[in-house]
Structure 1
Amino acid sequence: MTARGLAVEKPKAVEGPTVRDAVMTLLRDLGMTTLFGNPGSTELPLFRDMPQDFRYILGLQESVVVGMADGFAQMSGNAAFVNLHSSAGTGHALGNIFTAFRNQTPLVITAGQQARSIFPYDPFLYAERATEFPQPFVKWTCEPARPEDVPLAILRAYHMAMQAPRGPVFVSVPIDDWDRPCAPIVASTVAQEFMASSAMLAQTADALNKAKSPVFVAGAGVGREQARAVLSQLAEKHQAPVWVAPMAARAVFPEDHALFAGFLPASREAVVGALSGHDLVLVLGAPAFTYHVEGFGPYIPEGSSLIQIVDDPATAARTPVGTAIVGNVADAIAQLVAASSPPSRPAPAIAPPHDDPAPEGQAIYETLLMKRLAALRPSGLLISEEAPSTRGPLHDYFPIKLDDEFMATASGGLGFALPAAVGAALAQPAKTVFCLLGDGSSMYSIQGIWTAADLNLDVKFLIVNNGGYAALDQFGALFDIEVVGSKLPGLDFVQIAQGMGVPGARVATVDALDDAIETLFAGKGPRLLEVVVKRPG
């Protein structure tokens, strides 16, 4: 009898290897021995006699689980394995599955399903039409026809997740499949890289060499493929300014470099204005372009041409003007460096970042906070950011350097950065992870703090408390709308953190800010700092 008084028949012992044995061997061969999940009844047989070389990372809500796996996969370079609970758990996780899809993060997501024998009776916890539920934000879905097909389905899912453009995949596994007999399988090898056309790259190199004033727009694909250093070489050879593409969710170019031009806004007219005066626009690892508001007119300045290099055929297909080349972005940049022989060009005129003077008084403004963080931060940070209203001051006063890593949500959905920081710390234990959050966005996945405490991960959480959804208020002002439901009084993040095992502190005055930042970054292990800021105006 169970605790609820229901009789449950124990599964019969199986002699020889099972589906579970075959999957565990496969995951080991694929380098996926870190499993992320929040277990439910339909997943429990997966964990029977779990091998000692595997580790299970518990998240306190399924969206948090997927966010942790996303950060882990981005910072490890390999797909991460996620286990969700039937339809309810998959539903909880959908927001961050969508973000992983937009982030192009490789995730192998499995979800529990009821026993096959009771499918016809619509049982409790049955995941009806399970493979359709996470669509369209997974690259491939499957519920294997037979138990012995589960290992091959997971192998195929892994290869699909790792193929460019990378992304999440989904496999639904009935509860009784794990204990069925199954012969082990050998992991196949699939070449994941595909190279851009040599002829088209040669034409691009020729166009770059002949251009009078080229400009580069770099997106998250440059960061995903670790191509920032080689992009710096290409920019220096051509004396070309480098803009960060609109809404880029990774670090793409050192922001303290003399050729760093800034961040393109997500508006058609603003993009054209920023790129005016250049006769060749080379877009690398990004759409051309991502817009947030409706716009009109040309897509690029009059008299200029556009060439795009991206690893996603769908992104290339929707490029409205110019030439799109599909292939590995890092390799393409390296080939362009090798073929560079431009004439001598003067250094481009790049406007220095503006410097807002700090208002007098003891109130902390976001500009001052970013300046002091930049001055007191350790080198080589891994940064996970979700502070929408602070992003402007972050861009202006907290440069992401070549030895840093950076992640943000590519979907615009909240609840990613906090658990992603936890996953990143698991993947890069030698690095300090700095998680910059807004007070509103932090509440979407605050449970992730518990995992950081439980595993004693070196994550430094800084919550910018401006009393509400300030980014929404800013956007509402554009439409002359007074936003309702945007204020968040009474939140105490120090108590929340301490209740989950993370020490925390609050600072609200300028004279205490430096000491609070230094304490945040001192030592190893998780810590939280809540900074109460004053909104401008």
Structure 2
Amino acid sequence: MATIRDVAFDVLRHHGLTRMFANPGSTEVALLSDLPDDLGFVLGLHEASVVGMASGYALASDQPALVLLHTTAGLGNAVGAIATARVSRAPMVILVGQQDRRHLQSAPFLAGEQLELLAGSMPVAVRTPASPVEVPTAIAQAYHEATIHRGPVLVVIPMGDWDEEAPENLAAAAPARLRISAGADPELVAELADTLAAAKSPAIVAGAGADTHAGFAALTTLAERLNAPVWQAAFSSESAFPHDHPAFRGHLPAVRAGIRTTLAPHDVVLVVGAPAFKVNLHDAGPFVEAGTRLVLLTELPDEITHSTADVAYLAPVAPTCAAVADRLPASATTLEPRPAPEVRPAKGPDAMTPDMVYQAFAERLPAESTFFEETPSSRGRLIDILPARTPLSYCTVTMGGLGHAIPASVGVKLAQTNRPVVAFVGDGASLYSIQGLWSAAHYGVGVLYVILRNGGYAVMDLLARNHGGKGPWPGFAEISVSTIAGGFGVETRRIDTHTDLLAALDDIVPSLAGRTTPLLLDVAVES
């Protein structure tokens, strides 16, 4: 039976954390008893000495050092030395013992009260695993954070966690290897290019970190050189690849099983400008099959520490992708474009589904447009039907909250006054920041607001049905968003039929780029 301790030791070995500087106590005994011979132990008689020795070791070896401290007393004694390590840019992973989590609520002897706050702002990061199975991942993530931010990282670990049985095949959900470059480093570029060139069936997952003109161009060239399909990362706040390109295959599923199935045919998957991976509801299993190699390229440290990847590159996205593409030969074949998405018809005559609304815009909006998504019940349909063709085309919020689209669209239009800007917002979602319409009207901001009116929280109704029941929340068909908008000084049009919608868009869209006042379409859709 493997324990959490066994798996944690494998993580330490993998990252070269095989020498431990410590002044331990009882909360660390379970970790240290019968310590394996390949893990060295260096005792200090005071915590300042322990952290000081580790600082020197880290600076001289140019890699994170491993420190072990004893709950409140040990960490408290070490704070001054940790502050010195922070200023000295000495990377280290500091494991801090805590009382057994099974009775922490009873405030037992040696329980550390808010240990994660004791060292203040001196650590560059602090990790508190929520359960024993998260301990190995927390240690691996701390190693990467110490490397990236060049400083001490705390990991607070309850003493009982070490002896807990580890689930089968438990591994740290963090990159196995990390490389850092401030530019398109030739050695890094060569390594990444060789990996992609050797792949039999490479694929690309694009995220918001590549949503620039340079990023679009570099990823497009790279996909064409590799003849690789491209997916949009799930929950990406922006697009990063032209959705009308033959290589585009749609948005990646937001559950592990879907990701595994989608990427199973590919032996190398390059994730660019996004974590690997962001999902929604939990399901079991790894993100990819055992034969698929995951490579991550991003400019954001957090996307690295929260990703499962064989290797992660912290480097500028656009220049690195462009340099990699330059090293690859042109592909002799091209991918066939994916079939056009099916547009779901309405049940009633001249009524509308959200699909029909999005299709109408897809046929009329120019490529150099920005559209916001805040339609929870039909989000999947919008991103399938309405393509993002240029940088800053597609914008959404990835935190799960509502109230972003109405004010954020005002900001985009203020910054790019000659760009058509459309905000698709559900009637329920609109109520979270409806007052943003006043600012659009007051400052003469020509955003087109499309409110999809279904009279309730349709996405919550769907989730409740999927859970086998129904929710206690009522509908709110009596609310008139167009009436509210009119009260803020916004021109509104109530659209109740598909014919009315097409006529309105034919009138509005041609002059949308130069529009200087907001307009709200209150559009009735079938739920």
Hey, what's the Cα distance between the residues in 1 that align with 2:404 and 2:207? 19
Hey, what's the Cα distance between the residues in 1 that align with 2:280 and 2:324? 31
Gaps of 5+ in 1: 1-131, 141-163, 166-192
Q: TM-score, with normalisation over the residues of structure 1?
A: 0.61
Contact 1:374 1:399 in 2 (8 A): yes
Matches within 5 A, 1:305-344: 305-341=293-329, 344=332
Which residue number corresponds to residue 113 of structure 2? none
Which residue number corresponds to residue 431 of structure 2? 443
Whether 1:530 aligns to 2:522 is yes
Whether 1:462 aligns to 2:450 is yes
Which residue number corresponds to residue 453 of structure 1? 441
Distance 1:221-1:356 versus aligned 2 partners, 3 A rule = same
Hey, what's the Cα distance between the residues in 2 that align with 1:481 and 1:275? 33
Contact 1:196 1:327 in 2 (8 A): yes
Runs of 4+ in 1 over 4 A off after TM superposition: 348-352, 357-360
Post-superposition shift, 1:314?
2.8
Hey, what's the Cα distance between the residues in 2 that align with 1:403 and 1:213? 27
Contact 1:238 1:345 in 2 (8 A): no
Post-superposition shift, 1:234?
0.9
Post-superposition shift, 1:256?
1.1
Contact 2:372 2:409 in 1 (8 A): yes
Which residue number corresponds to residue 375 of structure 2? 387
Contact 1:267 1:291 in 2 (8 A): yes
Hey, what's the Cα distance between the residues in 1 that align with 2:317 and 2:474? 41
Hey, what's the Cα distance between the residues in 2 that align with 1:380 and 1:404? 8
Hey, what's the Cα distance between the residues in 1 that align with 2:463 and 2:413? 33
Hey, what's the Cα distance between the residues in 1 that align with 2:395 and 2:466? 27
2:463 is aligned with what amino acid?
F
| 1:276 equivalent among 238, 259, 264 | 264
Distance 1:405-1:298 versus aligned 2 partners, 3 A rule = same
What are the superposed Cα offsets for residues 253-310 of structure 1, whole Å, 9 maximum, x if unpaired?
1111111011011101100101111111000000000010112122212312111001
Whether 1:497 aligns to 2:485 is yes
Hey, what's the Cα distance between the residues in 2 that align with 1:400 and 1:315? 23
Secondary structure (helix, strand or coil) at the match of 1:393 reads helix
| 1:372 equivalent among 348, 352, 360 | 360
Q: TM-score, with normalisation over the residues of structure 2?
A: 0.62
Gaps of 5+ in 2: 1-116, 126-147, 150-180
Whether 1:292 aligns to 2:280 is yes
Contact 2:367 2:388 in 1 (8 A): no
Hey, what's the Cα distance between the residues in 2 that align with 1:318 and 1:500? 42
Post-superposition shift, 1:403?
6.2
Which residue number corresponds to residue 461 of structure 2? 473
Point out the more displaced range, 350-359 or 323-332.
350-359
Contact 2:428 2:456 in 1 (8 A): yes
What are the superposed Cα offsets for residues 346-377 of structure 1, whole Å, 9 maximum, x if unpaired?
63684553344554612211111111121233
2:413 is aligned with what amino acid?
A
Post-superposition shift, 1:404?
5.6
Post-superposition shift, 1:384?
2.0
Post-superposition shift, 1:432?
1.8
What are the superposed Cα offsets for residues 73-118 of structure 1, whole Å, 9 maximum, x if unpaired?
xxxxxxxxxxxxxxxxxxxxxxxxxxxxxxxxxxxxxxxxxxxxxx
Contact 2:413 2:421 in 1 (8 A): yes
Whether 1:361 aligns to 2:349 is yes
Distance 1:439-1:360 versus aligned 2 partners, 3 A rule = closer
Contact 2:248 2:337 in 1 (8 A): no
2:526 is aligned with what amino acid?
K
Secondary structure (helix, strand or coil) at the match of 2:434 reads coil
Distance 1:486-1:391 versus aligned 2 partners, 3 A rule = farther
1:526 is aligned with what amino acid?
P
Residue identity (%): 33
What are the superposed Cα offsets for residues 202-232 of structure 1, whole Å, 9 maximum, x if unpaired?
1110111121110000111111575112211
Secondary structure (helix, strand or coil) at the match of 1:498 reads helix
What are the superposed Cα offsets for residues 470-506 of structure 1, whole Å, 9 maximum, x if unpaired?
1122222221131221522211122111111111011
1:264 is aligned with what amino acid?
L
Matches within 5 A, 1:94-113: none
Secondary structure (helix, strand or coil) at the match of 1:369 reads helix
Distance 1:355-1:527 versus aligned 2 partners, 3 A rule = closer
| 2:229 equivalent among 241, 248, 255 | 241
Q: Bigger relative contact order, structure 1 or 2, given CA contacts below 8 A and separation 6+? A: 1
Which residue number corresponds to residue 413 of structure 2? 425
Which residue number corresponds to residue 202 of structure 1? 190
